[in-house]
Amino acid sequence: MSRKQAAKAWSAAGARKARRPRQPPAGAAAGPGPGGGGLAGQLRALGLKLREVPGDGNCLFRALGDQLEGHSRNHLRHRQETVDYMIKQREDFEPFVEDDVPFEKHVTNLAKPGTFAGNDAIVAFARNNQMNVVIHQLNAPLWQIRGTNKNNARELHIAYRYGEHYDSVRRVNDDSEAPAYLQMEMLCKNDLNKEEEVQPQKGDSEAETEVEMEDAIHKDIDLVSQILEMKDYNIESAIFAIFQVNEAERISTEEQCDPQSEDQKSGSRTLREENGTGSRIPGNRSLHQGEIENNKGQARSDEENRASRNTKVSKKQKKEQQRLEKKKRQEERHRQKVLANKSNCADSSRRETDSNNHITLVKAMAALNI
């Protein structure tokens, strides 16, 4: 867009305000009325209010000074610095001066106290201070005058009323003489439903593990049912039998962990079985030889059964442990995300509540940029 085209667009938007202010519309007060009427209610819905400044022709620089420094006493200095910047950057501002007023006369008039200043002065002020200026109006989107492209640049919020007057915008409960720290927060429809709980996703391996666990549980239930049936549904006998099975599985696990020790124990048990009391009795050896051999075969068969059951139990325990470890990792990741979200929310809350050192967010659905 050329400078002349930009000048026309700016003029159509009411941006070219270089002359003395017009009279307010019929039925409106000549100056800023108490409370600001409808604009005051519009700001109150955002948690904001008007801080009125005198309508003496210096209102723009008074309002900007109140935002920047917490008071409007330096409005003349802000005016002169703005005019100096416009002169240095003449090629940027001359196209926006009305055709019948030379640029030199325009800036000379603007430098005089009490001369109304418009959007060209706001642009110059914003660029000179490397800040953004946000303008609030009744029943209109926010205007954002960008003085810099930097992220998180400071914003000065002012209100434009009656087509002639500027006021400063503050938080509702801010009556201090401290600088104002307001920042626009652009909202969209999705922001209304962005508070969703993060659910950990199940992987294929975890689903397979759960299926295996269910199978193992069904097998355990079948084992208990068989023992109850064998013991004629005698609860105490069934419980004792289950304890014996568990003890056998535990011994089998120990044997796998220490096979050498088990061999020694097995040899010791064989000697005790052969000799009865551990002493050698030749006369009884032949008498009990057949029974001892049968006991050995039965012991080996029992050990093989226990080893088989223990292998299944070990696999089941290992898979269960892996599943628990994976679940703990997922829970820990979820906990870290929740803590991070809480930390962000706390930081945002602190920014909104501290009027001197932090930023108050001004929620907006749309803004027009210059």
In this structure, of 51-65, 143-157, 316-330, the range with the lowest mean pLDDT score is 316-330
Confidence of residue 263 (pLDDT cuts 50, 70, 90): low
Q: Is residue 273 one of the residues assigned to a domain?
A: yes
149 and 214: one domain? no
255 and 151: one domain? no
Q: Is residue 189 one of the residues assigned to a domain?
A: no
Please tell me which residue in 59, 78, 136, 167 is annotated as part of the active site.
59
Confidence of residue 139 (pLDDT cuts 50, 70, 90): very high
Structural domain range at position 324: 206-350
56 is catalytic: yes
DSSP secondary structure letters along 96-152: GS-TTS-HHHHHHHHTSTT----HHHHHHHHHHHT-EEEEE-TTSPEEEEES---TT
Confidence of residue 47 (pLDDT cuts 50, 70, 90): very high
Q: Is residue 27 one of the residues assigned to a domain?
A: yes
Type and span of the H or E element at 224: helix 204-230
Please tell me which residue in 75, 78, 136, 165 is annotated as part of the active site.
165
In this structure, of 93-107, 232-246, 330-344, the range with the lowest mean pLDDT score is 232-246
Is a pLDDT exceeding 70 seen at residue 279?
no
pLDDT one-digit tens code per residue, 359-370: 778 776 666 776
Is a pLDDT exceeding 90 seen at residue 329?
no
Q: Is residue 98 one of the residues assigned to a domain?
A: yes
35 and 84: one domain? yes
Return phi, psi of residue 195, to 5°. Answer: -85, 85
Residues 284-288 have a mean pLDDT of 44
Q: Are 308 and 255 contacting, i.e. CB atoms less than 8 angstroms apart?
A: no
Q: Is the pTM of this model over 0.75?
A: no
Rounded (10°) CA dihedral 82, 86, 87, 88:
100
- Pick 255 or 286 by higher pLDDT: 255
322 and 277: one domain? yes
Would you tell me how many other CB atoms lie within 10 Å of the CB of residue 18? 20
172 and 73: one domain? yes
**Selection from 231, 255, 253, 254 nearest residue 242 by Cα:** 231
Q: Is residue 198 one of the residues assigned to a domain?
A: no
Q: Is 347 helix (H, G, I), strand (E, B) or coil?
A: helix
- Pick 336 or 344 by higher pLDDT: 336
Report the CATH number that the domain containing residue 162 is assigned in CATH.
3.90.70.80
Is a pLDDT exceeding 90 seen at residue 94?
yes
Q: Is residue 194 one of the residues assigned to a domain?
A: no
257 is catalytic: no
Q: Is residue 95 one of the residues assigned to a domain?
A: yes
- Pick 31 or 166 by higher pLDDT: 166
